[in-house]
Structure 1
Amino acid sequence: MAIHHWLKGAGASALALLTLLAGCDDQRIRELEEGVSTEAQVRERFGEPERIWPEDGGARTLEYNRQPAGQRNYMITIGADGKMSALRQVLAPHHFEKVQPGMAQEQVRRLLGKPAKRITYDLKQETEWDWNWGDGPRHMIFTVVFGPDGTVRRSGSAEKIPDGP
């Protein structure tokens, strides 16, 4: 019984943390302006990026991962002039639609950021990457299944089943 109450408390704590993270990110985003904010200002608010992706013309995209605890991943593009040119939250259906059979793992990572979980099924010769995301009040998981050659076989979203009673 005590474990059950602890698990309920842990679930409530995780939900509170998710809400806090989302609120903090929303505040950070409001403090930045495309075409005006500098890379230093982005890093001051978001910290060090998970990864930096080179772009054409000297621009760079900073990946800010909120997985596995959060439901968002951000890609913030810094133009060659050192100013923020785009800030995108990439865990959303319009980005998931871009994941197509035959895409390489690196292309998917570049599109969606680091996944929350990676699992390999040796007998099936498949690897699944999962991202947590939100659809209004629903907690969702987007899964991409890769074959043994490291390319996308299929992908899709499903509602996340809550842990325990």
Structure 2
Amino acid sequence: MRTVFALAAAALVLAACAHPWNTVDVAPGTPRDEVIARAGQPVRVVPMPEGGQRLQYTMQPWGRYAFMVDLDASGRVVRSRQVLTAQEFARIEEGKWTGADVLREFGPPAQVDGVASWNGPIMMYRWKELGGSPMLYYVYLDPQGTVGRAHQAMELVNAPNERK
């Protein structure tokens, strides 16, 4: 029994060591293997248009953070950042960005859905505003896969039940 407990405790400690939060302060020049040792395997690895690749660490669908670690062609960190922020979402250009651009810049969304009033998929990301408010960010893609509109909304968490 002690052996099982010891193995479980060791596995828990090791799992706690490799976590996406460990990408926040990765110094430029850090090798790819060191990033993966610190943060674990990324959710996705995406080739970058200018060369190199992006390691995507996301806590979607329920988490509110996504970390992107950009590597140069030699596999060394160029920059690392948390991208689910108002400043990052403001970079999305309606009519110019595609769904592939959104996935490259923000990782997989928390949810993809649709509504009768829009002819195309709607990608939804969960994030937190600077003050800590839970937020949603919606990206509407047209049938050709181009961003037609994008906007933020408040996520009502633990709202009282209105039914009586």
TM-score interval, smaller chain: 0.7 to 0.9
Quick one: percent identity of the two aligned structures? 27
**Residue equivalent to 1:154:** 149
**Residue equivalent to 1:34:** 28
* Residues 1:104 and 2:98 are matched in the alignment: yes
**Residue equivalent to 1:121:** 115
Deviations 1:40-74 (A, max 9, x none): 11111221112212235642111111101211111
Runs of 4+ off more than 6 Å: none
**Residue equivalent to 1:44:** 37
Equivalent residues, number: 141
**Residue equivalent to 1:6:** none
* AA partner of residue 148 (structure 2): R
Q: TM-score normalised to the size of structure 1?
A: 0.75
**Residue equivalent to 1:137:** 132
Give me the whole-angstrom Cα distance separating, in 1, the residues matched to 2:141 and 2:53. 27
* AA partner of residue 145 (structure 1): Y
Q: TM-score normalised to the size of structure 2?
A: 0.75
Ranges in structure 1 where 5+ consecutive residues have no aligned partner: 1-20
Bigger Cα Rg: 2
Ranges in structure 2 where 5+ consecutive residues have no aligned partner: 1-15
CA positional deviation for 1:164: 4.8
Partner secondary structure for residue 152 of structure 2: strand
**Residue equivalent to 1:70:** 63
Partner secondary structure for residue 126 of structure 1: coil
Partner secondary structure for residue 43 of structure 1: helix
Higher helix share: 1
